[in-house]
Amino acid sequence: MPYPFEYAVVNKSDERLFKEKLPHISSSIPELFRTMSIAYRSIEQRNIYGKYGGLRRDNGFETALNLLWVAMLNDKVIGIDADITTYIDTLRALCLKWYKFGNSLDACLFFGYYFYLFNSQSRFIIRDQIKDLKFLIDNANQTTQDPSILAFISPSYSSAWYQTDDGIGDKLSNIFIKSGDLSKVGLPLPGYQITFGQTYQYDLRAPHFISAEQIEKPIIQDNKVIITCPKCKQRCRGTKFEHIEMTCPKCSQKWAQHI
């Protein structure tokens, strides 16, 4: 089964612009992809329960990751005092873009394994790496305002999510996370951690965490459904179907979702 992000395409001019605008990242990310590819091949063997059974050999992955943090700071896509979630999400966007340029799928799958499935462990390691960087890099809080660079790291998901019995979906994209791939958390912020722990169908378009306040449970009454417009927050009413397409009567925003 193909992964949800696997057939993403990109304009070749984007690759040239990426290398031109982000020179430090462009020189560091190939090594990260090399080590992630090796690491994924070492752990992709599964046991009889479908769990990863291989012994992880990353051949310098964490060193390459550390160098990429430095490159991201030098190219000003992130500030040194950004929170860990921002670090990971910015890296996710860069890796997804680099994959679209024709690079390793295995590397992206290890990204999913490391940053989604083992989120708690990876955050602990990254916290230590960033703490060390703060002693080496001064005055690195200025971030770029170049719109072409911001487009590279812009979110591939929205902040408007809906919940069904089967999982959680994004109203403005086709991202859908099955219930078994979610872990409900209460602290420090109520919501759902995305782990892909049941299906292992990693989707690098998805965030690592969705807060409870971003998720709407549709109201169903008399074969009608009441849901909120993702743009203007108008309450919209439609006929209940398993899959519906809505147009907001107030702002004309269109979206689709499962019920």
* pTM reported for the whole predicted model: 0.90
Q: What are the boundaries of each domain within the chain? A: 12-152, 161-258
pLDDT per residue as tens digits for the range 114-147? 999 999 899 999 999 998 888 777 666 789 999 9
CA angle (92 as vertex; 88, 93 as ends), nearest 5: 120
Confidence at residue 133, expressed as pLDDT on a 0 to 100 scale: 87
**DSSP 8-state code for residue 117:** I
Confidence at residue 1, expressed as pLDDT on a 0 to 100 scale: 72
In this prediction, the residues of the chain whose per-residue pLDDT falls under 50 are: none
Confidence at residue 134, expressed as pLDDT on a 0 to 100 scale: 81
For 22-146, where are the alpha helices, taking DSSP H only? 23-43, 61-74, 84-100, 105-111, 119-136
Other C-beta atoms within 10 Å of 29: how many? 25
Confidence at residue 47, expressed as pLDDT on a 0 to 100 scale: 63
Nearest to 68 by CA among 17, 16, 130: 130
Q: What stretch of H or E contains 247? A: strand 243-247
CB 154 within 8 Å of CB 146: no
- What type of residue is 206? A
